[in-house]
A and B are shown apart, each in its own frame.
Chain A
Amino acid sequence: MTFSNAEQFAGKRVVDFQRDTPLSGLDSTAYRLRIEYDDEHTMLDLLTALLEDAAVDRLEALVIGAWQVDESDRPSTEVVEALVAAASQLASMRSLFLGDIASEENEVSWIVQSDVSPLWTAFPRLETFQVRGGYGLALGPLKHDHLKSLVIECGGLPRSVLQEMAAAKLPALEHLELYLGTGGYGWDGSIDDVRPLLQPGLFPRLKYLGLRDSEIADEVANAVAESPILKQIEVLDLSLGTLGDDGGRALLACQDLQRLKRLDLSHHYLSNDLVKQFDRLPIEVDLDDPQEEDRYGRYVAVGE
């Protein structure tokens, strides 16, 4: 699986910001800042130009694309600092995507993120935060009263980020989507780092839980099935990982599974027998993209 650039973000159409074109249609448009091959300006130049636009205080959704093209491993630190410094001008910003970088621009596991925690205090009204790249990523102490959606896409999530999530206070959080990934790309956790996220009431408004692209998807499914989280959420997304019959059986054995509105298991290693059992459930189940285990084993979707 490869990552492409977002065409939609936070319900808005993504448009690349051009320095000579004023912002427009802000109700329906998310603007993306990006650096491309042969650009002579920097990401900070681009942000400065954006901030000079008279309408920037009405900008609701901002997408940060590739912030450099000359090297693979410049961290997002400067970008985060510049956004924080611009917080008063970005007063209407409710949605931020940090790192909308296509695989064609940089491998997801090569993107170097940074400590993004200054954003939480600088943008107390932020509702949607999406980040691509797990390397170098830190959420810090995460207390935020308005954040509804948090998405972390990566090749492998550091366990430290899971620990930060488990300690987070996010009373408004409805959508949590984490790519756990593989050891080869930065995953250094275990199921013990995932379990704390399944405590009931940790995120009291949580409706969507995505633990995607996991090489321990069977263990994750077992942990989910054992936990009371299914009594709370409406959508469980275990897609893109290595889920097989072991995890599948645990889910099927769980009475609360049928409380879900939707179960996403796409990109799975389930046998036909289990696929049929899932198909018979009275809820919506996505079983697309079945995989075949080869002699080397199973693969997650990101990094095949």
Chain B
Amino acid sequence: MWPLVNDPPVEPAAGSRCDGPQAILVIGNPENRRVAMFCAAARRLGLPAPRVVAYEDVLYGGLDVRQQVPRHGLVRIESPGENERVERALIALGAEQTPLAELPADYVPGEIVEHGRIYFPGLWYRGFCRLLDAWQEDLAKQPIAWMNHPADIKLAFDKAGCQAMLDQQGIRVPGRLGTIGSYDELRARMRETGHWRVFVKLSHGSSASGVVALEAGRNRICATTSVEIARVGGRTLLYNSLRLRRYENEREVAEVVNGLCVHGVHVEAWMPKASLGDGTFDLRVVVIAGEVRHIVVRTSRGPITNLHLGNRRGDLAELLRKIPGDRFAEAWDTCRRTATLFPRSLYLGMDLMFTPSFRRHAVLELNAFGDLLPGALHCGQDTYTAELAAARGKG
């Protein structure tokens, strides 16, 4: 039986299924490689094939997750990403939760959106939270084990809230400049707080979506970002490109920042990262059952390290050789400590950086679905296999 059961255990709700002791449920997009890799891991460990509940069936077909949950089973919530229909339904659900007066002026219900467009991540988050809240509530009294708890997923997708929590708990994070409503407000905040280099990030964006690295000198400005602007019929639309651009014209920088502000942004200090080769790096660290397991070095020549922006994985062994071991020991300790703040989740992905001298490290972000690291192995196991083995092993 899975050990991480809701407590106190109670009798199953009427209608819940009675399954074997190792039953697993995944809520995800069945066509997505995340689900495929997770199911492959279960197979590898000789576990019964996980039952897959599609977001699409929940959102469009009214499927009740309560009816699908295996008694004493393990429940995993996967990313709803990379599925256009699911994304649209989550945004619509978010809009339903939003008073009419608070809806963004240019929100058009049911609008078909081209790939790459930054499209109401605030509504998306609200919709996703609605689902997560419902599952948390519905399943609170079921005898199940969560692999990743809905409340933790919610917090990880709230950049400001997440960093504030880490900060309060004594985990070093970049200095927080809070939320801002406009470019002018951003510049004023930068002056007040003595920060001349910051990251502007969508409050609820995933990966590198809508991230701007901004530097402001006395008479100069430079924004490095994957965001591109397009003007269509009087509207300013923002897109995520796979290429980083530099804007050095203040009018354009303001346009990008103001465009992002519409969706809600969070601003943090740009802490310079340590060098590796001819660029810089940070680490994606996956902590499973309290232990640091999978680590991917993400190198970059620019300020944004996400791997899908053409950046490369670096060589961890090389890094470990180069840097005194106690620097890493301290950092791994921080990762473990961070994971203990999320006791209801079996695993957690986090982005960790070192300062250029390696004297300090900081947690940049937590990733609810940060375990998609194809090819990264720990003790011969990929992330999914290690998570399942850990879930079982604790029994």
Residues of A within 8 A of B (CB): 2, 4-5, 16, 18, 34, 36-38, 65-66, 69-73, 102, 104-105, 107, 110
Interface secondary structure of B, over-half rule: loop
B222 interface residue, CB < 8 Å from A?
Answer: yes
Contact B355 A37 (CB under 8 A): yes
Contact B196 A36 (CB under 8 A): no
Question: Which residue, A4, A70, A72, A104, has most C-beta atoms of chain B within 10 A?
Answer: A104
Closest residue of chain A to B355, judged by CB? Answer: A36
Q: Which one, B216, B273, B357, B359, contacts A104 given CB within 8 A? A: B273
Query: In the assembly, what is the distance between CA of A18 and CA of B197, in Å?
Result: 25
Closest residue of chain A to B248, judged by CB? Answer: A184
Contact A36 B220 (CB under 8 A): no
Contact A36 B301 (CB under 8 A): no
B277 interface residue, CB < 8 Å from A?
Answer: yes
In the assembled complex, the CB of B252 is this many whole angstroms from the nearest CB of chain A, namely 15
Contact A4 B218 (CB under 8 A): no
Contact B272 A105 (CB under 8 A): yes
* Residues of chain A contacted by B273 (CB below 8 angstroms): 104
* Residues of chain A contacted by B359 (CB below 8 angstroms): 16, 18, 36
- The 23 listed contacts between A and B (C-beta, < 8 Å) are A4-B277, A4-B280, A5-B356, A16-B358, A34-B356, A36-B359, A36-B360, A37-B174, A37-B272, A38-B172, A66-B272, A71-B196, A72-B218, A73-B217, A73-B218, A102-B356, A104-B272, A104-B280, A104-B356, A105-B272, A107-B215, A110-B215, A110-B217
Query: In the assembly, what is the distance between CA of A235 and CA of B197, in Å?
Result: 39
Closest residue of chain B to A70, judged by CB? Answer: B194
B303 interface residue, CB < 8 Å from A?
Answer: yes
Known interface pairs A104-B273, A104-B275; A38-B301 also in contact (CB < 8 Å)? no
* Residues of chain B contacted by A105 (CB below 8 angstroms): 272, 356
Contact B360 A4 (CB under 8 A): no
Query: In the assembly, what is the distance between CA of A79 and CA of B217, in Å?
Result: 21
Known interface pairs A36-B357, A102-B356, A104-B303; A2-B269 also in contact (CB < 8 Å)? no
User: Chain B interface residue count: which class?
Assistant: 20 to 34
Question: Which residue, A37, A66, A71, A102, has most C-beta atoms of chain B within 10 A?
Answer: A37
* Residues of chain B contacted by A65 (CB below 8 angstroms): 356
Closest residue of chain A to B273, judged by CB? Answer: A104
Contact A2 B222 (CB under 8 A): no
Query: In the assembly, what is the distance between CA of A24 and CA of B246, in Å?
Result: 42
B81 interface residue, CB < 8 Å from A?
Answer: no
In the assembled complex, the CB of B353 is this many whole angstroms from the nearest CB of chain A, namely 10
B279 interface residue, CB < 8 Å from A?
Answer: yes
Closest residue of chain A to B197, judged by CB? Answer: A72
* Residues of chain A contacted by B222 (CB below 8 angstroms): 107
Question: B269-283, CB under 8 A of A: which get 1 and which 0?
Answer: 101110101111000
Query: In the assembly, what is the distance between CA of A5 and CA of B280, in Å?
Result: 10
* Residues of chain B contacted by A69 (CB below 8 angstroms): 272
Query: In the assembly, what is the distance between CA of A194 and CA of B358, in Å?
Result: 41
Contact B280 A37 (CB under 8 A): no
Contact B220 A110 (CB under 8 A): yes
Contact B280 A102 (CB under 8 A): yes
Query: In the assembly, what is the distance between CA of A2 and CA of B224, in Å?
Result: 13
Closest residue of chain B to A65, judged by CB? Answer: B356
Question: Which residue, A65, A70, A102, has most C-beta atoms of chain B within 10 A?
Answer: A102
Closest residue of chain B to A17, judged by CB? Answer: B357
Contact A2 B278 (CB under 8 A): yes
Closest residue of chain B to A16, judged by CB? Answer: B357
Contact B269 A72 (CB under 8 A): no
In the assembled complex, the CB of A240 is this many whole angstroms from the nearest CB of chain B, namely 13
Contact A2 B272 (CB under 8 A): no
Query: In the assembly, what is the distance between CA of A104 and CA of B272, in Å?
Result: 5
Query: In the assembly, what is the distance between CA of A2 and CA of B302, in Å?
Result: 8
Closest residue of chain B to A2, judged by CB? Answer: B301
In the assembled complex, the CB of A157 is this many whole angstroms from the nearest CB of chain B, namely 18
Known interface pairs A2-B278, A38-B360, A70-B194; A102-B272 also in contact (CB < 8 Å)? yes
